[in-house]
Amino acid sequence: MGQINLAKKMEKKALDLLKKSFPLTIVGAFFMSMVEISKHMSHQKKQLSWQMANGKEKRLALLYQRGRCLSTLWQAFSLDPATNSKKFSYLAALMTVNCAEESQDEAQIISSYMEFSQCCQLIGCQQEWMKYEEMAIKRSSYLRIVGRELFIIAKVVASLAYMKLCLGNLYLASELGFRAYEICEQIRKSKLSCSVLFDLFTAFFLKASLIESAEVLSWLEKLSFRDDNIIGKACFISGCMDLMLYASFSYKPFAYCLDFVANNEANCILMSQNGIMLSLYSSMAIW
């Protein structure tokens, strides 16, 4: 619902219930980061061996729940503009990796590597960003192309497309974006599809490929309005404004875009998406 502070508070409470503490202060975050880095290095050096004693399934379930909470937590901190949020986001992402590695679930490990890579990209840690991207790619090459493992592959390809887009490699970003979209359609993951389509539109738009941009935008419109995905709708309107302003192409009239912004500017989900809202308001102002 876009309530970032409440989300962080509830995730921390959930972690307490799962017997996993998370620091409240920047000093606590620093010392816990040292502990988590040490733990991560030990995981890299040796393989954990599970004992087939009673309680294994319960332990795995606990690690999975912790990982889910920590994943949401690092993403919530990444949306927070506060000065120290980057450090908390990094810590939560690293803890997600450690939970995944302790579980020895290959799909979880790959997913956590991609999340950590994305986190490092957002906070500007280029060396770790590239390192964990490569590690995720290598491990995902051994996954089967079925079920949950196919979804993990889709997330990896989608993340790679976004990262290549950020690096300015538009050709590779568009190629990966198409592959990610095809997989998402195959496994019917519409939320991920919307994100992939907007990145794909951006890649084509920056390549000045107007026909492909309009085609991808039509896919995004159909998908986001079918599923009533407000973030997908906002991305679609943002794309329409970009085409009007910078390509002199009116996919939707300006009045249509203005009505959408006026009717949804108080939407708490959109209010949490700083990048999308900045794009919409700046486009309106320029127009």
> What confidence tens digit (pLDDT) does each residue in 192-210 have?
899 999 999 999 999 888 8
- Tell me the per-residue pLDDT of 109-137, one tens digit each, with 9 for 90 and over: 888 898 888 888 888 887 888 888 888 88
C-alpha distances in Å from residue 72, one per residue of 60, 119, 157:
19, 12, 20
DSSP 132-186: HHHHHHHHHTTS-SSHHHHHHHHHHHHHHHHHHHHTT-HHHHHHHHHHHHHHHHH
CA gap 194, 273 in Å, rounded: 15
Residue type, 37: I
Backbone φ, ψ for residue 81 (5° rounding): -80, 0
**Helical packing angle, 254-264 and 274-286, nearest 10°:** 140
User: Phi and psi (nearest 5°) for 149?
Assistant: -65, -30
Res 52: pLDDT: 42
Neighbours of 225 (CB within 10 A): 12
Model pLDDT, residue 50: 46
d(CA 196, CA 110): 19
Instruction: Give the per-residue pLDDT at 166.
Output: 82
From the CB of residue 260, how many other CB atoms can be counted at a distance below 10 Å?
Answer: 18
Assigned token pair, 138? 């290598």
* One-letter amino acid of 194: C
Q: Dihedral through CA 132, CA 137, CA 141, CA 146, nearest 10?
A: 90
Flag residues of the chain having pLDDT under 50.
Answer: 48-53
* Closest by CA position to 82, among listed 123, 41, 124: 123
- For residue 259, the model assigns a pLDDT of 92
Write down the residue that tokens 């493992």 correspond to. Answer: 149
